């Protein structure tokens, strides 16, 4: 399939070409820039280009690939860093230096590398599509290879292989491979969805204790400028109790991404003691990279995350920030002259977002394993206004809402999660698990903590009128206890050893505060003066 460029308008190009399908991938111009067909009209197609279109000219050739935008899935993805189109950035840099120009195709997977394949099925056995053929050791993980065909196995390798050769064959002559391609916009298949029931421990006390999240859940963290979204996303990426982390830097600052890479290379996973990078995949589309590829980047990331979920792993996808993704779709939509919806966002914004959130969950995979894909996504509402369309659309579908509060951030209370406005719909399922695994008092302590914070709020209003000295001693003591909860328990500095708080530490910290409070109350009753009591 070949054609030529008729008209260019920024990243949107009209091409004269027949035989294309909607969402087909095309190579445009002599530079072979990657694009996607977004509209078809008779023999004309409108193509959205994912790279810089400077220097592109009318009449240059266009080549159809005959496939939609896909990612390559196979061993070797872990600890890599990709751009929004899944090009491996480290290898691109080795090839062309730090300034990457468009049109360079380097595969995400190294097809020449040798891997040791361990078969789990034998010759003569029947296999179905999606069942496990065997595994390859990818770092500390067993990278399970699923069959791409059904049939009786004619032969299967046991030993070294590279990914460009077959690892087996079924009797109808179809070859079995260790890697494959998958369209990014198509969710990967599974047998059935299960409801989330296991906790996803983040190591952040405020989240684990007050707003626990579930493996397979979806969490949004909207917050105005400087409320600590990036730091919280990165802390969760470092400390979350999951097997694999996929982190998308979506339209945010490049230096933050550079810091993240430095941090990850030096830190170890607190749950396994292995290098953090070994379990991480980074997808980078910072603010200076082409905006259209940003739209694709979250799909590239979620498809890789689903791929590891299909092996029975617990995967966490983090994106900072979803608003930049929505802005990218707004730019694309307006360059296509589509009818704008609220605040200029495309009318399909909410359904696109819902479709994306729907890819999270706990599933029984085609091979019968259970894997989960959780999402923690930050949202940056302009001016901190939560009524804007992206936050509202996310709120409708997300299972937990962690509202980052500008006034808390101004007081340097980090993480600035507002404990009155935030919620988690997973709490009911997750708390029994914490009660069983960590402490039977978990729920009781949590209710007490919330109650004290609420009573403090009410007392604060009274204190504003009568002054703190006008309050009764018991109330002043409660305010002291509440201050301890806020400053010693809910605040967690991301730059100290306290950045990670395992659930045992979380529960013992809050129990210590209550112990102090109970003792002090007892002393007050015995007639000890409040100042004396507070000194201890
Ligand atoms: N847990 C934390 N511990 C200590 N400091 C923090 C913490 N979280 C945030 N901060 C401080 O707040 C600053 C802003 O945080 P961050 O960059 O994460 O905000 P943001 O919401 O991502 O901002 P932007 O809207 O600009 O992207 C950080 O530079 C840091 O000084
Ligand atoms: Mg940020």
Q: Is 415 in the pocket of ligand 1 (CB under 6 A)?
A: yes
Q: 493 C-alpha vs ligand 2 centroid, how far in Å? A: 16
Q: Which has the closest alpha carbon to 353: 396, 317, 307? A: 396
- Is 82 within the bounds of a domain? no
324 CB neighbour count, 10 Å cutoff = 26
CB 6 within 8 A of CB 14: yes
Residue 416: strand, helix, or coil: coil
Q: What is residue 104's predicted lDDT score, i.e. its pLDDT?
A: 64
Q: What is residue 2's predicted lDDT score, i.e. its pLDDT?
A: 85
User: Ligand 1: which of 237, 414, 489 to mutate, most ligand atoms within 8 Å of CB?
Assistant: 414
Are 146 and 231 in the same domain? no
Domain boundary among 181, 202, 228: 181
Domain boundary among 47, 68, 89: 68
Q: What number of H helices and E strands is found in the chain?
A: 14, 28
Q: Is 493 in the pocket of ligand 1 (CB under 6 A)?
A: yes
Q: What is residue 255's predicted lDDT score, i.e. its pLDDT?
A: 82
From atom 16 of ligand 1, which residue's Cα is the shortest distance away? 228
Are 362 and 316 in the same domain? yes
- Is 192 within the bounds of a domain? no
Are 149 and 247 in the same domain? no
Are 419 and 350 in the same domain? yes
Distance of CA 435 to the CA centre of its chain: 27
Place of tokens 């299960």: 194
Ramachandran quadrant class, 39 (left: phi over 0; alpha: psi -120 to 50; beta: rest): beta
| The pair of three-digit structure tokens given for residue 7, joined into one six-digit string | 């008209």
CB 322 within 8 A of CB 378: yes
Q: Is 228 in the pocket of ligand 1 (CB under 6 A)?
A: yes
Residue 277: strand, helix, or coil: helix
Distance of CA 411 to the CA centre of its chain: 28
- Structural domain including 353 reads 214-425
CA distance 228 to 416: 7
Are 387 and 448 in the same domain? no
Place of tokens 């998958």: 182
Are 258 and 394 in the same domain? yes
- Is 167 within the bounds of a domain? yes
From atom 1 of ligand 1, which residue's Cα is the shortest distance away? 494
Nearest atom in ligand 1 to the alpha carbon of residue 227 is 21
Distance of CA 339 to the CA centre of its chain: 30
Domain boundary among 395, 425, 455: 425
CATH of the domain at 120: 2.40.50.100
What's phi and psi for 105, nearest 5 deg?
Answer: -105, 110
| The pair of three-digit structure tokens given for residue 507, joined into one six-digit string | 């529960």
Q: 102 C-alpha vs ligand 2 centroid, how far in Å? A: 27
| The pair of three-digit structure tokens given for residue 152, joined into one six-digit string | 């009786």
Output Rg (C-alpha) for the chain, integer angstroms.
26
- Is 100 within the bounds of a domain? no
Are 411 and 507 in the same domain? no
Place of tokens 């079995």: 176
Q: 421 C-alpha vs ligand 1 centroid, how far in Å? A: 20
- Is 190 within the bounds of a domain? no
Q: Is 230 in the pocket of ligand 1 (CB under 6 A)?
A: yes
Are 147 and 173 in the same domain? yes
From atom 25 of ligand 1, which residue's Cα is the shortest distance away? 225
Q: Is 10 in the pocket of ligand 1 (CB under 6 A)?
A: no
- Is 168 within the bounds of a domain? yes
User: Ligand 1: which of 206, 226, 495 to mutate, most ligand atoms within 8 Å of CB?
Assistant: 226
Q: Which has the closest alpha carbon to 196: 219, 169, 222, 220? A: 219
**Which residues of 355-486 form beta strands (DSSP E)?**
361-364, 370-379, 400-401, 423-424
- Is 264 within the bounds of a domain? yes
DSSP 8-class letter at 497: G
Q: What is residue 100's predicted lDDT score, i.e. its pLDDT?
A: 64
Chain segment 514-524, per-residue pLDDT in tens? 999 999 999 99
Are 266 and 368 in the same domain? yes
Helix axes 442-466, 473-484, angle to 10 degrees: 120
Q: What is the pTM of this model?
A: 0.94
Are 244 and 323 in the same domain? yes
Bond prior to 536 in cis (omega within 30° of 0)? no
* Helix residue ranges, H only, 485-529: 503-525
Q: Which has the closest alpha carbon to 448: 210, 204, 156? A: 210
Are 407 and 450 in the same domain? no
CB 47 within 8 A of CB 37: yes
Chain segment 228-284, per-residue pLDDT in tens? 999 999 999 999 999 999 999 988 887 888 888 888 888 899 999 999 999 999 998
CATH of the domain at 31: 2.40.30.20
Output the 3-class SS for 293-340. HHHHHHHHHHHHHHHHHCCCCEEEEEEECHHHHHHHHHHHHHHCCCCE
Are 452 and 410 in the same domain? no
User: Ligand 1: which of 206, 221, 225, 228 to mutate, most ligand atoms within 8 Å of CB?
Assistant: 228
Residue 161: strand, helix, or coil: strand
CATH of the domain at 419: 3.40.50.300
- Is 376 within the bounds of a domain? yes
Q: Is 420 in the pocket of ligand 1 (CB under 6 A)?
A: no
Q: Is 239 in the pocket of ligand 1 (CB under 6 A)?
A: no
Q: 183 C-alpha vs ligand 2 centroid, how far in Å? A: 29
From atom 4 of ligand 1, which residue's Cα is the shortest distance away? 493
Q: Is 223 in the pocket of ligand 1 (CB under 6 A)?
A: yes
Instruction: Report which secondary-structure segment, H or E, holds 236.
Output: helix 229-239
Count of structural domains within the chain: 4
Q: Which residues pair with 270 in a beta bridge?
A: none
Instruction: Report which secondary-structure segment, H or E, holds 136.
Output: strand 132-138
From atom 30 of ligand 1, which residue's Cα is the shortest distance away? 228
Residues of the chain with pLDDT under 50: none
């Amino acid at each position: 399939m070949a054609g030529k460029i008729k008209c260019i308008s920024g990243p949107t190009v009209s091409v004269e070409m027949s035989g294309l399908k909607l969402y087909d991938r095309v190579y445009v111009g002599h530079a072979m820039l990657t694009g996607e067909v977004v509209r078809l009209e008779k023999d004309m197609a409108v193509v959205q280009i994912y790279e810089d279109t400077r220097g592109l000219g009318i009449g240059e050739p266009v080549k159809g690939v005959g496939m939609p935008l896909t990612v390559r899935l196979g061993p070797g993805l872990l600890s890599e860093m990709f751009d929004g189109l899944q090009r491996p950035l480290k290898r691109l840099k080795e090839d062309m230096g730090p300034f990457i120009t468009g049109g360079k195709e380097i595969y995400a997977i190294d097809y020449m590398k040798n891997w040791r394949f361990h078969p789990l099925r034998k010759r003569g056995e029947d296999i179905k599509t999606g069942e496990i053929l065997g595994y390859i050791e990818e770092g500390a993980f067993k990278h399970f290879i699923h069959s791409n065909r059904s049939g009786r196995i004619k032969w299967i390798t046991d030993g070294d292989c590279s990914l460009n050769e077959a690892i087996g064959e079924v009797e109808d002559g179809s070859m079995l491979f260790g890697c494959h391609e998958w369209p990014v916009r198509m969710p990967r298949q599974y047998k059935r969805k299960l409801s989330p029931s296991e906790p996803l421990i983040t190591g952040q006390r405020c989240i684990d204790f007050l707003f626990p999240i579930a493996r397979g859940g979806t969490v949004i963290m909207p917050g105005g400028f400087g409320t600590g979204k990036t730091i919280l996303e990165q802390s969760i990426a470092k400390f979350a109790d999951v097997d694999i982390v996929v982190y998308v830097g979506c339209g945010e600052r490049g230096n933050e991404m550079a810091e993240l890479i430095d941090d990850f290379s030096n830190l170890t996973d607190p749950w396994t003691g292995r290098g953090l990078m070994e379990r991480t995949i980074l997808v980078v589309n910072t603010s200076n990279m082409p905006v259209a590829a940003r739209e694709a980047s979250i799909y590239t990331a979620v498809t890789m995350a689903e791929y590891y979920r299909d092996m029975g792993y617990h995967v966490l996808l983090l994106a900072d920030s979803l608003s930049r993704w929505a802005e990218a779709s707004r730019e694309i939509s307006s360059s296509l002259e589509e009818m704008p919806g609220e605040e200029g966002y495309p009318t399909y914004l909410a359904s696109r977002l819902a479709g994306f959130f729907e890819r999270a969950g706990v599933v029984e995979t085609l091979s019968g394993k259970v894997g989960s894909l959780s999402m923690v996504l930050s949202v940056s509402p302009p001016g901190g206004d939560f009524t804007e369309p992206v936050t509202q659309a996310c709120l409708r579908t997300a299972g937990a809402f962690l509202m980052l509060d500008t006034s808390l951030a101004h007081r340097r209370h980090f993480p600035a999660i507002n404990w009155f406005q935030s919620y988690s719909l997973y709490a009911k399922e997750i708390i029994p698990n914490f009660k069983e695994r960590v402490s039977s008092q978990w729920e009781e302590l949590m209710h007490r903590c919330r109650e004290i914070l609420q009573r403090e709020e009410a007392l604060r209003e009274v204190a504003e009128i009568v002054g703190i000295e006008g309050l009764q001693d018991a109330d002043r003591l409660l305010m002291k206890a509440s201050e301890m909860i806020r400053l010693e328990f809910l605040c967690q500095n991301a730059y100290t050893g306290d950045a990670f708080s395992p659930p045992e530490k979380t529960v013992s910290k809050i129990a210590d505060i209550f112990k102090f409070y109970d003792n002090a109350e007892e002393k007050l009753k015995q007639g000890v003066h409040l100042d004396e009591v507070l000194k201890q």
